[in-house]
A and B are shown apart, each in its own frame.
Chain A
Amino acid sequence: MTYSNQDIAEMIRESAVDRRVYIDPEIFELEMERIWGKAWIYIAHESQIPGPGDFFTTELARQPVLLVRQNEDTFNLFFNRCAHKGTKVLELESGRASLIRCGYHGWTYKTDGSCHSITGGEEAYKSLGLTKASPCMSLGRLPRVDSYRGFIFASLAPEAPDLRTWLGPTATSIDNMVDRSPEGKLEITGGVLRYRHDSNWKLFVENLNDMMHAMIAHQSSAQTARVIGNRLFPKGMTPPPEVQILAPFAEDKDFFESMGIHAFENGHSYSGGKTSIHASYSGIPEYEEAMKKAYGKERTNEILSLNRHNTIVYPGFTCKGAIQTIRVVKPVAVNETVIESWTLRLVGAPGEMLHRSILYCNLINSSANIVGPDDYEAYHRIQHGLQTEGRRWVANARYLGAETPNEEGGYSATGSSDMVFRNQFRAWLGYMVDDRAGSRERAS
């Protein structure tokens, strides 16, 4: 069937959503066009393209794109396809190129996207009045690209609120992650973990701020870590980082309630604040010294006491300031999603800080760890369970109406509230039924 806006609007109730939003391929195609084709989508971090000619290739809403640094101040984002025949011009994920050369017929482009040379010369296009300077001979530019404190986002919609405005209060989660570097600088390092899920992208995006699941779904790993940790490191001994990272997932319901959740415009949210599962990691004295030297004692305490758990910049970017990792959502199909986990080094901080972030990623985000597979399994079973026709609605009803306005202009609620999901679907609906003329017109 083809869904009208009315049909789509009827799929979202305040306390529940129609199961088809997770399982219908047609809805997924509409999401790619109307959500992923309009929102700001994370591309890369500026540290991945430090010098002129450095490039990074990725996908935005399944479309291959190419990020390249032109000079110290400018980087460009192009659709990764040759103006001639449509071939992806760069296939490697990253590298350096003074000229971007298509491997098929040898057209070359400068790092500003303009055509540098056409194999056999321009004469072949004379009858059409075209030269290599004609716009259709250059690499196609994405309508909007911007970066916030080093994090580069792009939008396929020419009309979009500016990135900073759109991020809203979740920008402060990025700020906190950057501020944790004594030099105010982050650098992506240490590779990437890619985890392929056989489920809908929204299940992952909801789960990050689902405070109800950790103590149940991760009981087998967290409780085991706690039992073994307590045995090997009895009271008075500091457990090693592995136990410090794994055990808090088995905190009780009161703990997760008290972490709290906070939701904002555009579907964004974060969980935790004063406390989170990251709050009790051992201090690293050398790091704290470097921070105090850079920021002073008071500001350092302010920065390090902000213990948010997950921040979700809806629909596709999530970060953990306290542990300096980001997870990037790449939808592939209605029941297929790749999650990328990247680690950030705090420039000016001792190596132990990076080691902890790396350890965290290995333990929680790797496809071969003992935490992620339980999330994977939960999503898999939802994807399967929702095939049942017996019940149309998926409930988002917990603590409906109990949210309270917060100082940042959003709403806050107790940890186990479904407010974050309701907020995501409010944004989802806004994108999906917003058919203002021109919102999807591409730059030619």
Chain B
Amino acid sequence: MRPKPTPQELEQYLYREARLIDEKRWDEWAGLFVEEGEYWVPASRGQPDPDNHVSLVYERSLLRDIRLKRYNHPNAMSLQPQPYSVHLISNVMLDSYDEDSGLCVVNSRFIMLEYRRNEQLTYGGATTHTLEAAGESWKIRVKKVELVNCDSALGSIQIYF
């Protein structure tokens, strides 16, 4: 049994995760996920599942591998110049914690700036992390990102929220 995580512990975990994205430390970031960990950005509000409805992104390890490897591909036209991001994470709340399974669900809010070639785009939304206990820390089972404007016509999004 593991004690209930403190707000500060969760905040630091989410800050670090976001920082790994902003600093493009992709191997470390991918290492935060469990083997089949999901990253899901629904395309509509309240979307029940990723199989019967389109999503902006629905990735598990295979697609994550492909995306991350592509970041270093010399001929990725849309990554020249590179995009850069800054995440602000806030409103971190523990939604549920199961002592027996060590599974916790954390809700937070974010603003992300994605900058590329003289254009800065702003995204915001709510993120739900389903984390499972792994040693002293946590691994991500699901990271679900609900963009406030998920159903609008968006331009290219090239960085993780």
Binding site for B on A (CB under 8 A): 189-198, 216-217, 219-221, 223-225, 227-228, 232, 240, 242-243, 246, 338, 341, 343, 351, 354-355, 358, 361-363, 365-370, 372-374, 376-378, 381
Most buried by B among A219, A361, A377: A377
Contact, CB under 8 Å: A377 / B154: no
The reply to whether the CB of B16 lies closer than 8 angstroms to some CB of chain A is no
Within the complex, the shortest CB–CB distance from A302 to chain B, in Å, comes to 29
Contact with A along B26-65 (1 / 0, CB 8 A): 0000000000000001011001001111111110001101
Within 8 A of A (CB), among B55-84: 55-58, 62-63, 65-67, 69-70, 73, 75-79
Q: Which residue of chain B lies nearest to A243 when distances are taken between CB atoms in the complex?
A: B62
A194 near B78: Cβ-Cβ < 8 Å: no
Q: Give A343 to B69 CA distance when docked, in angstroms.
A: 29
Q: Which chain B residue shows the least CB distance to A226? A: B66
Minimum CB–CB distance from A51 to chain B (whole Å) comes to: 21
Task: Give the distance in Å from the alpha carbon of A374 to the alpha carbon of B70 in the complex.
Answer: 12
Among A223, A373, A376, max chain B CB count under 10 A is at A373
Inter-chain contact A191/B47, CB cutoff 8 Å: yes
| CA distance in complex: A195, B44 (Å) | 14
Chain A residues, CB < 8 A from B79: 220
Minimum CB–CB distance from A268 to chain B (whole Å) comes to 26
Chain B's closest residue to A340 (CB) is B153
Given A196-B153, A197-B155, A228-B65, A366 and B55 touching (CB < 8 A)? yes
B77 pairs with A377, CB closer than 8 A = yes
With both chains docked as a complex, state the minimum distance between the C-beta of B70 and any C-beta of chain A, in angstroms.
Answer: 5
A378 to B157, CA, bound (A): 15
**What's the Cα separation between A192 and B56 when bound, in Å?**
10
Given contacts A219-B75, A368-B57, A370-B66, could you give 8 more A-B pairs where the C-beta distance is less than 8 Å? A193-B43, A220-B75, A224-B73, A242-B62, A243-B62, A351-B52, A367-B56, A376-B155
Are A194 and B76 in contact (CB-based, < 8 A)? no
- Asked if B158 lies at the interface with its beta carbon under 8 angstroms from chain A, I say yes
Q: How far is the CA of A338 from the CA of B151 in the complex (A)?
A: 13
28 contacts between A and B (CB under 8 A): A190-B53, A190-B54, A191-B44, A193-B56, A194-B151, A194-B153, A195-B154, A196-B155, A197-B155, A219-B75, A220-B70, A220-B73, A220-B76, A221-B66, A228-B66, A232-B62, A240-B62, A242-B63, A242-B66, A243-B62, A246-B66, A355-B52, A358-B51, A358-B52, A362-B54, A367-B155, A372-B156, A374-B78
Question: Is the CB–CB distance between B57 and A366 below 8 Å?
Answer: yes
Given A221-B66, A232-B62, A366-B57, residue A376 in contact with residue B157 (CB < 8 A): no
Q: Is the CB of B54 within 8 A of A376?
A: no
Nearest-CB residue, chain B, relative to A352: B51
Task: Tell yes or no: B152 within 8 A of A by CB.
Answer: yes
- Chain B residues 99 to 152 lying within 8 A of chain A, measured CB to CB, are 151-152
A198 to B, closest residue via Cβ: B155
* CB nearest to A381 among chain B residues: B77
Are A370 and B70 interface neighbours, CB within 8 A? yes
A192 in contact with B62 (CB, 8 Å): no
Q: Which residues of A contact B156 (CB under 8 A)?
A: 367-368, 372-373, 376-377
**Cα A217 to Cα B155 with chains together (Å):** 18
A367, B51: Cα distance in complex, Å: 18
- B52, B63, B75, B152: which contacts A189 (Cβ < 8 A)? B52
Q: Which residue of chain B is the closest to A246 with respect to CB atoms?
A: B66
User: In the complex, A242 Cα to B61 Cα: how many Å?
Assistant: 11
Tell me the bound Cα distance from A338 to B69 in angstroms.
Answer: 29
A374 and B76 contact, CB distance less than 8 A = yes
Which of A216, A338, A343, A376 contacts B153, CB < 8 Å? Answer: A338
Q: In the docked arrangement, what's the CA distance between A220 and B75, Å?
A: 6
Q: Which chain A residues border B78 with CB–CB below 8 Å?
A: 373-374, 376-377
How many whole Å from A189's CB to the nearest CB in chain B? 7
B4 to chain A, nearest CB (A): 34
User: How far does the alpha carbon of A196 sit from the alpha carbon of B56 in the complex, in Å?
Assistant: 13
Q: Which residues of A contact B152 (CB under 8 A)?
A: 194
Give Cα A374 to B79, complex, Å.
Answer: 8
Q: Which residues of chain B come closer than 8 Å to A368, judged between CB atoms?
A: 41, 56-57, 154, 156-158
Q: What separation, in Å, do the CA atoms of A372 and B55 have in the docked complex?
A: 14
| Cα distance A381–B78 in the bound complex, in angstroms | 10
Please give me the residue from chain B that is nearest to A231 by CB atom.
Answer: B65
